[in-house]
Amino acid sequence: MKFRDERFPKTLRLRRRNEFLGVQRGPFRLVTQHFIVYARPAGDRETKLGITVSRKVGRAHQRNRIKRVVREVFRKSRADMPRGLNVVMVARPGRGLPGYENVVDELLPSLIELKGRVEKRQGKRNS
């Protein structure tokens, strides 16, 4: 029996401050109920994820839970995600703790929408 590789290796994470800032300063942003999702084109590479949860969102255990849930959704649905994006998800304060289903409902459509915006902008530049 073959198993899908569902790990979340370091190569799929944004890890440095300048990587996060580079994505957040880009023109592609989408606001959902619980997150602000930033994206930046990354060529044909796999999508990388960075997560930011400030202290305004809640105590340490709440912030850690949000990050854990986002990583799990990203890990489980990697095959369905568009390629070629660097993504930073910033948790919005005062919105409560999102559950697994909330993150699934917000993450995948957001990435598809942002990928469409990136391709549309790149198409204009090539024309």
Is residue 37 within 8 Å of 110, Cβ to Cβ? yes
pLDDT tens by residue, 65-84 = 999 999 999 999 888 888 88
Tally of CB atoms within 10 A around 34:
22
- Who has greater pLDDT, 126 or 64? 64
Other CB atoms within 10 A of residue 104 CB: 16
CA distances 55 to 50, 62, 68, 97, 121, Å, are 17, 10, 16, 13, 34
Contacting residues for 11 by C-beta, under 8 A, at least 6 apart: 46, 48
pLDDT for residue 127 is more than 80: no
Q: What is the tens place of the pLDDT at every residue in 86-125?
A: 999 999 998 888 899 999 999 989 999 999 998 888 876 6
- Position 55 scores a pLDDT of 95
Is residue 89 within 8 A of residue 47, CB to CB? The reply is no
pLDDT per residue as tens digits for the range 6-60: 778 888 899 999 999 999 999 999 999 999 999 999 888 889 999 999 999 999 9
Half-sphere exposure of 24 (CA within 13 A, CB side): 14
CA within 13 Å, CB half, 78: 17
Instruction: Please tell me the distance from the alpha carbon of residue 95 to that of residue 35, in angstroms, as a whole number.
Output: 9
Question: 4 versus 52: which is more confidently predicted?
Answer: 52
Instruction: Kindly list the structural domains of the chain, giving each domain's residue range(s) and its CATH number in brackets, ordered by start.
Output: 10-126 (3.30.230.10)
